[in-house]
Structure formats: structure tokens, C-alpha cells
Amino acid sequence: MPAPAAARFGGTSVPTCRPAHRLAAAAAATSASASFTSGPGSATFRPRSSSSPLRAALAAAGPAGLVAMALSNALFYTVAFTLAARALPRPPPGGGWGPALAAVGRAWGVAYGSGLATKAPRSAAILALMPLVGRALGAATGGQHGRAAKLGAGIALGCLGCVLVTLGGAAVAWL
């Protein structure tokens, strides 16, 4: 007879309604990875790592981390998309939305792939940029955290808007 669920998971109560809920609750109750056996097979659950230096620093930096990441990614992906769009063949003129959007998709795929390949140096740049952004946000908001959070969210949305305008502009230009 198996041990009660609370005994198996360090005294933490685990709901027993469905296996998926038991698995999720047990994984949340453990600090590292957990192994579970159910029937003839076994499953190992490893929660998504939130212990990376970048994630920890972003969480600690608050609005400054959000703005640093948004500025860095907006700049990188805008430049990468522009370079990819110039390097790839253009769709035939007058082809309509289909070929234009397909060309934007190809260029975005190249930009995204280059983003994955350069993740480590971009993470280092974000970490280096966070203190500067934090000082700028503090100076702009007089040190009020609530105002800094709102300003940071506005800047991050503005960065996203710039990237979307770049993508849309390319699609319209290729019509």
C-alpha cells in the first residue's frame, strides 16, 4: 500500500482529485525535480527553471528590468529584421498581401533565429543596461516606484509598437 500523499511530498497536502492535479501540486510542493510512478511507466517533472541569472536580475530590478529588456529586444529585433529583409529576395511587385506577408514571415524567422543564436550576449547587455535604466527611471519619476512602474510599462509597450510598425511597414512596402 502506497504512503499517503502528504508523507510522500514532505508533509505538504496534495489534492487527489485527478492525476494531473496531483502531479502539478506535488511538483509545486517540491523545490527541485520530482519523479512519479503511475502504473507501468514513470514520469519526471522538472519545473521551468526560474533560477537563471537574467530572470533573477529582471525580477529584482522591477520596472528597470522590464524597460532594459524591452529596449534591448526592440533594438535587436528591428535591426535583425531589417538586415534579414534586405538580404532575402523581395516578393514580386503587385503580388498582393500573400507574397508580402510571406516575405515578412521569412525575414522574421531569420531575425528570430539570430535572436536565439545571440541570447547569451544579449542577456549580458540587458544586465549591463539595467542599472542605467534604473537611474534614468528614478530621475524621471522622482523615485516614486508606482510612477516608475507605469512609465516602464509605457516604454515597454512603445518598444513593442516600434517593432510592430517596422514589420507592418515592410509588409506595406512590399505590396
What torsion do the CA atoms of 10, 12, 18, 20 make, to the nearest 10 degrees?
A: -60
Q: How much is the pLDDT for 50?
A: 54
Q: How much is the pLDDT for 13?
A: 43
Q: Are residues 159 and 99 in the same domain?
A: yes
Q: How much is the pLDDT for 16?
A: 42
Q: Are residues 94 and 124 in the same domain?
A: yes
Q: How much is the pLDDT for 117?
A: 94
Q: Are residues 39 and 116 in the same domain?
A: no
Q: Are residues 31 and 82 in the same domain?
A: no
Q: Are residues 75 and 31 in the same domain?
A: no
Q: How much is the pLDDT for 51?
A: 63
Alpha-carbon distances, residue 73 vs 48, 57, 65, 80, 105 (angstroms): 22, 16, 12, 10, 18
Q: Are residues 145 and 114 in the same domain?
A: yes
Q: Are residues 19 and 104 in the same domain?
A: no
Q: How much is the pLDDT for 29?
A: 43
Q: Are residues 39 and 115 in the same domain?
A: no
Q: How much is the pLDDT for 30?
A: 41
Number of domains in the chain: 2
Q: How much is the pLDDT for 110?
A: 94
The b/e string for 123-162 (b: 16+ C-beta within 10 A; e otherwise) is bebbbebbeebbeebeeebeeeeeebeebbeebbeebeeb
Q: Are residues 89 and 161 in the same domain?
A: yes
With both helix axes pointing from N to C terminus, report the angle between 119-141 and 63-87 in degrees, rounded to the nearest 10: 130
Q: Are residues 39 and 58 in the same domain?
A: no
Residue-level length of the chain: 175
Alpha-carbon distances, residue 135 vs 88, 130, 140, 146, 168 (angstroms): 40, 9, 9, 15, 33
10-residue stretch averages of pLDDT, the chain, 175 residues long: 46 43 43 47 50 79 87 90 88 82 90 93 90 88 83 87 84 74
Q: How much is the pLDDT for 116?
A: 93
pTM over 0.75: no
Q: Are residues 71 and 131 in the same domain?
A: yes
Task: Please give the residue range of the domain that contains residue 34.
Answer: 5-45
Q: Are residues 38 and 104 in the same domain?
A: no
Q: How much is the pLDDT for 76?
A: 92
